[in-house]
Amino acid sequence: MSEAPGDSLLYKQVAGKIQQLIQSGTLRPGDRIPSVRRASEQHGVSVTTTLQAYLELENRGFIEARPKSGFFVRPQIQSRMPEPRASKPASAVRAVSVGNLQSRLFEAVRMPGIVPFGGAAPGVALLPEAKLNRILASVARSAGERGVSYDPPPGAESLRREIARRALNAGSHISRDEIVTTSGGTEALMLCLRAVTKRGDVVAVESPAYFGVLHAMEELGLKALELPMHPRDGMDLNALESLLKIHSIAACVAVPTFSNPLGALMPDENKRRLVELLTRREVPLIEDDIFGELYFGAQRPRAAQSYDKTGLVMLCSSFSKTLAPGYRVGWIVPGRYQARIQTLKLTSTLATATLPELAIAEFLANGGYDHYLRSARRTYAELVDCMRGAITSAFPPGIKITRPAGGFVLWIELPKKVDALALDDLALAQNISIAPGPMFSATQGFRNFIRISCGHPWSPRIESALGTLGTLVKKLS
C-alpha cells in the first residue's frame, strides 16, 4: 500500500477518477464497476480507502450497491437535469413581508391527510422517535426535582458538553461554557437578530433565504439586503464584498452548509473568506447550521464559525431537522455576544424545557445520535435523489432542480408562466402542501419557484402527489 496512514483526501482522488470515467461515458449506466479488492490494486490504495471512495460516489449518486452483486453505475437522469442559475437579486435594501405566507404554510401542514412537501420538518417515520421517547421516559422517571425545575441560561450542562464535543467535527473548538441552549432553532435565530440589530437596520441575507429568518426580520422591523446565491457554492462573495462597501450592514445571516431552500454548500475557502470579509467591517455573522449534520459526502462540512478569531460569528443550530422538532431544543454559540444572548433568553422564554434537553443529551452521550445519523444521511441522500427523478418525470420539460449536497429540500424553477402562489392554491385543494418561492424572498420574488421537502419516506402516496403536482404545473404553464 503506497498511501500514508490517515491521508483522508486519498479516497476523494480515487472517487474523482471513477466519477470522470462515468461522466465521460467510459463507464455507462448499468455497468458493473470493479470490485473493491480489484480497484484497490488498480489504484494502489487500501481496501478501506476504496470502500470510502465507493461510498462517496454512492452518496454523490453516481453508483449504487446491489445486494450480493457489487457496485453499478446508476442511471444519470437526474444529473442531466439543469440546476437553476445563480440568483440576481436587486442590490437594494428592502422591507420584508413574508409572515402571511409562513402562517399559511403552517396552517396547511396541520391539515389532516395533507402531503407535506411544504414544511422542512423531517418525516417522523425517518426519526428515531421510539428510541428518543423511551430515553425521555426514562429520564423523566429518574430526574425527580430536576425534571420540573427551571434550567436557566445557558441551559443543561450535560447537553452543552455533548454539543461542544460534536462541534469538533465541524472544526469548531468551543467549550460547553460557550454554548447557550434555546427553545429550538427559531428562538436561536431570533435572539441573535435581537442581540445585534435594532429596528430599521439592514441585514444581509441569502437570496433565496429561509423564510423563518425573513419573518423574524419582518417582525423586528429590519430591512433586507439580498445577496446573490449560486445553487451549489452558495453566497456570491464578490457581490457581498461590493455591497459591504456601499451599505451599512448590521448583521449577515447565512446558512453556509446546505442552505435553505438551495441546499448549497459553501466551499471551505469561501467560508473562510466570508468570515474575513465580515470581520474586516465588524459585521456579525449569524450562521445557521441546522442542516450541517445531514451531509451526503464523506465528511462533516466545516462551520464558518471555525474560521472565526474574534467572536463575531454566532453559530445557531438545533435538533429539529435531525431528531425531534417537537422537543424544541436548539442552541447558540454566541461568541462575544454571550452575555447579551443569555439576557435576551431571559426575556424570551426564561429557560429551555429541561427534560427534552436532558433526554437529547443522553441520546448523544450514549452514541445513539451518531448511529442514527449514519443511516439518516444515506436515507436523505437517496430520497433527494429519488424525488429529483420523480419530479423530472412528472413535471413538464424545461424545469430546473437543485442538486443539494446535504439536507432534504429541493428548489425547483418552474416555467416562467407558472405562478407558485396559484400552484399552491391548486395543490392545497388536492391536499398537497408546497412552499411557494415568494416565501423565500424579502419582496416575495421567485414567483415561479417552489421548494419541495424530501423528508418523508418514499411511498405510492408521495409518488402520486408528485404526479398531481406535475399535472398542475403543466396546466399553469
Binding site for a copy of itself (CB under 8 A): 99, 102-103, 106, 109-110, 119, 121, 124-125, 127, 129-130, 132-134, 136-138, 140-141, 143-153, 183-184, 186-187, 190, 194, 198-199, 212, 215-216, 218-219, 221, 320, 323-328, 339, 342-344, 346-356
Cα 9 from chain centre:
24
Which residue in 442, 440, 59, 459 sits closest to 255, CA to CA?
440
Q: Cβ–Cβ contacts within 10 Å for residue 331, how many?
A: 27
CB-based contact 53:12 (threshold 8 Å): yes
Nearer CB in complex with a copy of itself: 176/271: 176
Cα dihedral angle (454, 410, 183, 107), rounded to 10 degrees? -80
Nearer CB in complex with a copy of itself: 83/293: 293
Nearer CB in complex with a copy of itself: 68/199: 199
Nearer CB in complex with a copy of itself: 73/351: 351
Cα 88 from chain centre:
22
Cβ-defined contacts of 238-241 (< 8 Å, 24+): 239/91, 240/204, 240/274, 240/277, 241/277
Least Å distance between CB 392 and a copy of itself?
A: 30
Least Å distance between CB 8 and a copy of itself?
A: 34
Nearer CB in complex with a copy of itself: 358/472: 358
CB-based contact 236:227 (threshold 8 Å): yes
Query: Residue 431: left if φ>0, alpha if ψ -120 to 50, beta else—which one?
Result: left
Least Å distance between CB 210 and a copy of itself?
A: 12
How far apart, in Å, are the Cα atoms of 363 and each of 67, 110, 368, 418, 430?
31, 28, 5, 45, 39
- Kindly give, in sequence order, each residue whose CB lies less than 8 Å from that of residue 138, ignoring residues fewer than 6 positions away: 362
Nearer CB in complex with a copy of itself: 65/125: 125
Nearer CB in complex with a copy of itself: 279/322: 322
The crossing angle, in degrees rounded to 10, of helices 237-246 and 268-280 is: 10
Least Å distance between CB 243 and a copy of itself?
A: 25
Least Å distance between CB 347 and a copy of itself?
A: 5
Least Å distance between CB 219 and a copy of itself?
A: 5
**What is the rounded distance in angstroms from the CA atom of residue 307 to the CA atom of residue 137?**
39
Nearer CB in complex with a copy of itself: 21/353: 353
Least Å distance between CB 23 and a copy of itself?
A: 40
How far apart, in Å, are the Cα atoms of 425 and each of 242, 261, 469?
39, 20, 11
Q: What one-letter code names the amino acid at 380?
A: Y
